[in-house]
Amino acid sequence: MKLYLETTIPNMLFAEDAPEKRRATEMFFAWIKVCRDELFVSALVESELALAPEPKRTRMARALRALPLQVLPVPAAAETLADGYLAAGIWTPRSKDDAVHVATAVCHELDIVVSWNMRDLANVRRVARINEFNVRRRLGLIRVATPEEVMDI
């Protein structure tokens, strides 16, 4: 499978306030080093991580560099698709980056967006709306899952 890691994944490696998710993310990072799945992030993930304070920014970047992943560009088609998601009310403008993460994964024909953002991304009702939108436009379907769910797939 082709997995897109959005920004909450490296962020959770260093989350002091969520020890259970942190442990699950550490297990996920160990798992993805040996799994056969292809791993991706986007230029948006890199720019979001650049906003983190030090030393967390450096630690997250180092953790990602240790993975066999590819950095994808955010194509213009993804920006347009994200705007379509917003216009359809799938997300509010406040969550545009979430829409861009999903749209980037869809445009690059990836299988799963891996996220700890359960309100705005790893949410079955929202994913159903995304896929309904995509089907009407003859775009691919996308799944959004937590690291725990991906390791069970």
Query: Mean pLDDT across the stretch 80-109?
Result: 97
Exposure string (b/e) for 90-106, b if CB count within 10 Å is 16 or more?
Answer: bbeeebbbbbbbbbbbb
Length in residues, the chain? 153
- Categorize the per-residue pLDDT at 123 as very low, low, confident or very high, splitting at 50, 70 and 90: very high
| Cβ 145 vs Cβ 114: under 8 Å | yes
Per-residue CA distances from 100 to 32, 86, 97, 107 (Å): 23, 10, 5, 10
Q: Which helix (H) or strand (E) holds 73?
A: none
Strands of the chain (E only): list them: 2-5, 38-42, 69-72, 112-114, 143-145
Mean pLDDT value across the chain: 96
Taken in order of first residue, the domains within the chain and their CATH numbers are 2-152 (3.40.50.1010)
Show the tokens assigned to 6.
């959005």
- Give the dihedral of Cα atoms 143, 114, 53, 62; nearest 10 deg: -140
Overall average pLDDT of the 120-149 stretch: 96
Average pLDDT of the residues in 106-113? 98
The share of the chain scoring above pLDDT 70, in percent, equals: 99
* Upper half-sphere CA count for residue 12 (Cβ side, 13 Å): 24
Mean pLDDT confidence for 7-18 = 95
Residue 42 bridge partners (DSSP): 72
Q: What is the pLDDT of residues 13-40, one digit of tens each?
A: 999 999 999 999 999 999 998 999 999 9
Q: Residue 54: pLDDT above 80? A: yes
Residue 153 has what pLDDT? 57
